[in-house]
Amino acid sequence: MQYVSQFFSILNDVFLKMTWLSDLIAWIVNNIFRLPINDTDIWGKIGGSLQFFIYDSIKIIALLSVLIFIFSYVESKFTPEKTKRLLSKLKGIKGATLGALLGTVTPFCSCSSIPIFISFVKAGLPMEVTFSFLISSPFVDLASTVLLASMFGWRVAITYVVVGVLLAILGGMIIGKLKLEKYIQDYVFDMKVGETEEVEPTKKERIQYAKEQVKNIFTKVWKYVLLGVGIGALIHNWIPQELVEKILGNGNIFAPVLAAIVGIPMYADIFGTMPIAEALVLKGTGIGTVLTFMMGVTALSVPSIVMLKQVMKNKLLGIFVGIISVGIIVIGYIFNIFQFLVI
C-alpha cells in the first residue's frame, strides 16, 4: 500500500503539480534573468513574480489543453439530445440528482447552458431537473476538477465537486417545490429549438470534436488565464500576508461574504480564477473563502445574469441568484470551519 501511495504521489508531482517545471523556471529566473526569488527586496519580488507567472501560465495551459481534449472526447457521447432524453425519465430528487450529475460531465459553460436550458423547458422537463442541470453545468466540470487537484490536492477538488453537486440538487429542488414555471419568459415556450436526429458519432468525429473543443475553449479562456496568473503573481509577491489575512483570513467573520461580493460581479472563466485562488491560499486566506470566490465568478457573473434575465422573469431570477449566493456563502463558512479535514 505504501508503494502505491508513493507511486500516485510521484504521478501527482510530475504530471499535475509539475514540480519539475517550477524548479526549471526558478533556475531560469536565477541563472538566465539573474534575478533572486524572495519577498525581502524589490528584485526578489520581481523574480518571484516572473517565476510564478511563467510557471503557472505554462502549467495551466498545458494541463488545460490535454484535459479538454480527453474529457471532450468522453463528453462527445453526451449530446444535448441524449442528455435531454436521459433527464426526461426522472423527476423529484432522483431527477434533480441526475440533472446535477449530468451537468458535471457535459461540456457546457454558463453561457452555452442557457440554450440547453431553453430546450429542456420546451421539452417539459420538471423545473427541479432543468435548474439542477443549469446550476451544476458551469459549476463543476472534469477538467477544472483535475486542475483544482493540481493546486490544492484531491481532497479539496473532490469536496468541491460534492458540494457543487449538492448545491445544484438543493437549488433545483427548492425551485421545483415553489412551482415557478409561470416566471419563465413567455416567449421561451414559443421558441423553436432545433431538434436534430441523434446519430452516434464515429471515433474520427469524436477526435475532431475534441480538437475543436480545445481550440474553441482555449481561444475563449487564454486571456483570462494570463490575467488571473498576473493577478495571482501580484498577490503572491507584492501584497503583504498580514493584509490578506486581515481582510480574507479566518479571523474575519465576513470573509466569505466579501469573497462572494467580489466574485459575483467578475467576468472570468474558472481557469482564470484558479491562480488567484492559489495565491490567496498561500497568503493565508481560508479555503472556504477562496471556493466561495471561485463559485461566485463561475456561476453568477454579471454577463450570465444578464443572459438569464432574457429567459427568466424578475422573481425567478431573484430566487435563482439568491439560492446560489446564500449557498456559496454557507459553503464558504463550512469549508473554513472544517478546513483541517481537507487541507
Decide if pLDDT at 250 tops 60: yes
Average predicted confidence (pLDDT) for the chain: 84
Instruction: Note whether 292 and 337 are within 8 A (CB).
Output: no
- In whole angstroms, give the CA distance from residue 52 to residue 237: 9
pLDDT recorded at residue 22: 93
User: pLDDT tens-digit profile of 173-190?
Assistant: 999 999 888 888 877 766
User: pLDDT tens-digit profile of 257-293?
Assistant: 999 988 887 766 677 788 998 899 888 899 999 989 9
- In whole angstroms, give the CA distance from residue 180 to residue 320: 11
Q: Which amino acid is at 121?
A: V
User: pLDDT tens-digit profile of 127-151?
Assistant: 898 899 888 887 777 777 888 888 8
Decide if pLDDT at 4 tops 60: no
Decide if pLDDT at 227 tops 70: yes
pLDDT recorded at residue 31: 96
Round to the nearest angstrom and report the end-to-end CA distance of the chain. 22
pLDDT recorded at residue 264: 80
> pLDDT class for 32, splitting at 50, 70, 90?
very high
